[in-house]
Structure 1
Amino acid sequence: MADGDMANGADKAPDTFLSGLTEQLLDAARKAGADASDAMALSGTSMEIEVRGGTLEHAERSEGTDIGLRVFVGQRSAVVSASDIKPETLRTMAERAVAMAREAPEDAYAGLADPSQLARDVDIAALELSDPAADPTPDDLKRDALESEAAALGVDGVSQVQSAAAGYGRRQVHLAASNGFSGGYERSTRSTSCVAIAGTGLGMERDYDGDSRTFQCDLRDPAAIGRSAAERALARLSPRKAKGGAWPVLFDERIAASLIGHLVSAANGAAVARGASWLRGALGEQVLPDGMSLIEDPHRPRISGSRPFDAEGLPTARRAIVENGVLKAFSLDLANARKLGMNSTGNAARGTSGGPSPTAWNLALTEGIQSREDLLKQMGTGLLVTSMIGSTINPNTGDYSRGAAGFWVENGVPVYPVSGVTIAGNLREMLQRITPANDARGWLSRVVPSLLVEGLTLAGE
């Protein structure tokens, strides 16, 4: 259940309970001999319903509380976790953590935030992280899954639905540290998904659609999700091989975020500090075309990547990772910022069983003025990619190779499906040649439109 979330709900009983747990852990750590410590407590419930052939296939409900404690003895640290919250367990955790820390190697960069760095007076309510509506019942979720499956099966040519599912989760998280920080919040999510299969025998093809939202009222219609999955599966029937050589490639909006994700991974402070990033030393250099920016905004309401503060208690803030094509910043937690001689960007994430590491929150890439259809016409002949398979990325050079499937395009029109194609290039060069469409979905955590890249190498016929 640990995923790096932090949050507030001091007026709610669950958060009061979690706050008490974290304070007990800090007290136990102090008594065990820790010089400093931080503690995390998570509690929540989740439900998942899957249907097949009009009947219930699988139902799962989970609930529980997880706790984690990180202690420091000088510059040595250790992390322990448990799902048992009895007082004797907390005491034993602290004693073991301190004993482990005393045997750990020293880390000159480890340590909590200075109190002056901590988040203060955060308006968590403005982020709308938790749906005030009543939790759905199992029957509600089953109904959504059945509607999605029925809609997919109602499309002529769809032979079966591999899975149709609906889920819901609500969890509370609290973080406290011996430097004085204490905060928590609640987060909810509801989802629907469908995987449809078209064709028969060796000619079967499958595709999917799905949606996940913070507020249930924002979720797309289950039937629309099922129909979309079915139509996508049908479109993939009878694939051919793509033509080999150098061709333009249009990354469909559904998978374009993965291309930008490689840039985000290279701008991760942990990778940079290890020397395993093709963006090491690239601050201030051109990495995207002129006029394009990549903006992180952790304060967007109702979005899964929103955070009022990070996993070290630092405030989160809107910032530019890339501005007007130029790399402006890495994503940093405290330790990696210290290694690089920089300041944390408030991007620490952690779970109960490990220490913090940097990650990026909500991201948005500058959109273009052309539609996806306009970019298809612009490319003329080439490959429209709608799904990716596996990846080989050299973290030091940015050399890129990925399996893909999609549609071959001639005269600006998709003419037949293709599969088994390998796309190769170098990310540093590719990203400076992208042309964005205007079709990004604004409710996603990563808002990235379809992206046209000229001159990639395709391995096909």
Structure 2
Amino acid sequence: MTQSLEELCHAILTAARKAGAETADAIALSGGSVEVDIRAGTLEKAERSEGTDIGLRVLIGRRQANVSSSDTRPETLTEMAERAVAMARETPEDPYAGLADPDQLAQGWDAAALELDDPTPEPAPTELQADAQAAEAAALAVEGVTQVQAAGASYSRHAVHIAASNGFSGGYQRSGRSTSCVAIAGTGTGMERDYDGDSRTFQADLRSPADIGQRAGERAVARLGARKPSTGQFPVLFDERIASSLIGHLLGASNGAAVARGSSWLKDDLGKLVLPEQLSVIENPHRPRIGGSRPFDAEGLPTRDRAIVENGILTGWTLDLASARKLGMAPTGNAARGVSSPPSPANWNISLTPGEASRADLIRDMGTGLLVTSLIGSTINPNTGDYSRGAAGLWIENGEIAYPVNECTIAGNLREMLLRIIPANDARAYLSRVVPSLLIEGMTLAGS
């Protein structure tokens, strides 16, 4: 008889105690996914994957070790536990390793309220194929599109359970449904490509395949005839599709693990202004139907709403138990982990205060500059915040789109850049990171 994930976790914890572990925690994951890709109207790839994986972390004093397996037979669980204990005995001590105290653990959480699992039946592969074909056809119908590089649709459902010797035991299930399309316009050396896609927890929320394909095609055509822009200091508007990467750099620098290592350009900025005074960055892990939502973190601590930046001021770090202990602070319920690694800090759902102006308003007001629609590669110094990325997009002259551009580099310093951001009001509220288009005055642009 197949064991549940909860039973698997408790079985391996029992094996760990018998093997000599003083404390331990376990995580078990199971589920499946199906993915369909279309090319030239015919099925190019259809893949289905299913499996169960389990991870074990054991602690002997302040020594810890992690093991994982996709084999859940009882004899394998015993071997895993014995191997983990043997590894832990040879591992150097980590003074900050350890499980949560029982009074820190999540209580009374309600995963159902988060609506992470769509009760709608799994779509048939033919339904996924039809969605991919519809997206491809819509892209090809756009004048100027010469081919579709890829059109696909997928579905997944996964369950997770976490249990620990401190008494915590909890799990939940989540589903996902997506459609995507990559269109190519032009021919030969003048070819350009762009994409669109949508991914939702509930299938009913997914945008239509036709809309996705059409937008991918229109975006690809808009890039035809691209050339290098001028070199100099110009305002740069980060399109909403990529603007969240800027806030992502702030989140990375406020990650407790980076701060504890001393490798963060924000390490001395706690309590200081890091964004314009009217802007805040709020973390909300309890938004229904959103991929970043969860009732508890990977160490069994409750997740909660918090302001990472409030009215421009950096209010705190993103902390798991280990980084919190190292910094002498309280954990924030932000531990994440896989089956083969210990917990580490991560962010959940994030939103940046929106502005009042539309993207069109910002384009009109920026005069001459660059609207960035894609970023390529990166050189970012985690200690200083120096920023340099390849970019492509649309050149703005006299407040209007003039022509597409590519093969340019935008550069600046993240600390200075973030203090100058002007947000639009075009963020998509259903994303895990709700960040609008962002205008930054006076960035260095290297082109022709």
TM-score (norm 2): 0.99
Residue 10 (structure 1) aligns with: none
Question: How far apart are 1:154 and its partner, in Å?
Answer: 1.0
Residue 125 (structure 2) aligns with: 138
Question: How far apart are 1:437 and its partner, in Å?
Answer: 0.3
- Of the candidates 272, 276, 281, which is equivalent to residue 263 of structure 2? 276
- Of the candidates 377, 381, 402, which is equivalent to residue 394 of structure 1? 381
Correspondence 1:116-195 to 2 at 5 A: 116-195=103-182
Question: How far apart are 1:235 and its partner, in Å?
Answer: 0.3
Supply the distance in 1 between the matched residues of 2:212 and 2:314 (Cα, whole angstroms). 37
- Of the candidates 315, 319, 334, which is equivalent to residue 332 of structure 1? 319
Residue 7 (structure 2) aligns with: 20
- Of the candidates 195, 198, 205, which is equivalent to residue 208 of structure 1? 195
Residue 71 (structure 1) aligns with: 58
Residue 23 (structure 2) aligns with: 36
Deviation by residue 1:410-432 (Cα, 9 ceiling, x = unmatched): 01111000001100100000000
AA of the residue aligned to 2:414? L
Question: How far apart are 1:377 and its partner, in Å?
Answer: 1.2
- Of the candidates 73, 77, 82, which is equivalent to residue 90 of structure 1? 77
Query: Secondary structure of 1:63's match?
Result: strand
Query: Are 1:457 and 2:440 matched, yes or no?
Result: no
Query: Secondary structure of 2:58's match?
Result: strand
Structure 1: segments with no counterpart, 5+ residues: 1-12
Question: How far apart are 1:301 and its partner, in Å?
Answer: 0.2
Query: Secondary structure of 1:421's match?
Result: strand
- Of the candidates 276, 287, 295, which is equivalent to residue 289 of structure 1? 276
- Of the candidates 238, 242, 258, which is equivalent to residue 229 of structure 2? 242
Residue 300 (structure 2) aligns with: 313
Query: Secondary structure of 2:419's match?
Result: helix
Supply the distance in 2 between the matched residues of 1:441 and 1:350 (Cα, whole angstroms). 27
AA of the residue aligned to 2:92? P
Supply the distance in 1 between the matched residues of 2:244 and 2:187 (Cα, whole angstroms). 32
Fraction of identical pairs, as percent = 70
Supply the distance in 2 between the matched residues of 1:52 and 1:191 (Cα, whole angstroms). 17
Query: Are 1:349 and 2:339 matched, yes or no?
Result: no
Deviation by residue 1:186-207 (Cα, 9 ceiling, x = unmatched): 0000000000000001110000
Question: How far apart are 1:112 and its partner, in Å?
Answer: 0.1
Supply the distance in 1 between the matched residues of 2:160 and 2:93 (Cα, whole angstroms). 30
Query: Secondary structure of 1:433's match?
Result: coil
Question: How far apart are 1:74 and its partner, in Å?
Answer: 0.8
Supply the distance in 1 between the matched residues of 2:401 and 2:144 (Cα, whole angstroms). 20
AA of the residue aligned to 2:162? L
Over aligned residue pairs, what C-alpha RMSD do you find? 0.9
Residue 5 (structure 1) aligns with: none
Deviation by residue 1:281-329 (Cα, 9 ceiling, x = unmatched): 2110000001100000000000000010000000000000000000001
Deviating runs (4+, > 6 A) in structure 1?
A: none
AA of the residue aligned to 1:229? A
Q: How many residues align?
A: 448
Query: Are 1:421 and 2:415 matched, yes or no?
Result: no
- Of the candidates 233, 254, 258, which is equivalent to residue 245 of structure 2? 258
Correspondence 1:40-59 to 2 at 5 A: 40-59=27-46
AA of the residue aligned to 1:78? A
Question: How far apart are 1:124 and its partner, in Å?
Answer: 1.1
AA of the residue aligned to 2:363? L
Question: How far apart are 1:156 and its partner, in Å?
Answer: 1.4
Structure 2: segments with no counterpart, 5+ residues: none
Supply the distance in 2 between the matched residues of 1:388 and 1:96 (Cα, whole angstroms). 44
Deviation by residue 1:106-154 (Cα, 9 ceiling, x = unmatched): 0000000000000000011110000011111101100100000011111
Supply the distance in 2 between the matched residues of 1:243 and 1:265 (Cα, whole angstroms). 31
Supply the distance in 2 between the matched residues of 1:116 and 1:322 (Cα, whole angstroms). 28
- Of the candidates 48, 67, 91, which is equivalent to residue 104 of structure 1? 91
AA of the residue aligned to 2:224? L
- Of the candidates 230, 235, 250, which is equivalent to residue 217 of structure 2? 230
Residue 287 (structure 2) aligns with: 300
Residue 363 (structure 1) aligns with: 350
Query: Are 1:372 and 2:362 matched, yes or no?
Result: no
AA of the residue aligned to 2:395? W
Supply the distance in 2 between the matched residues of 1:216 and 1:234 (Cα, whole angstroms). 29
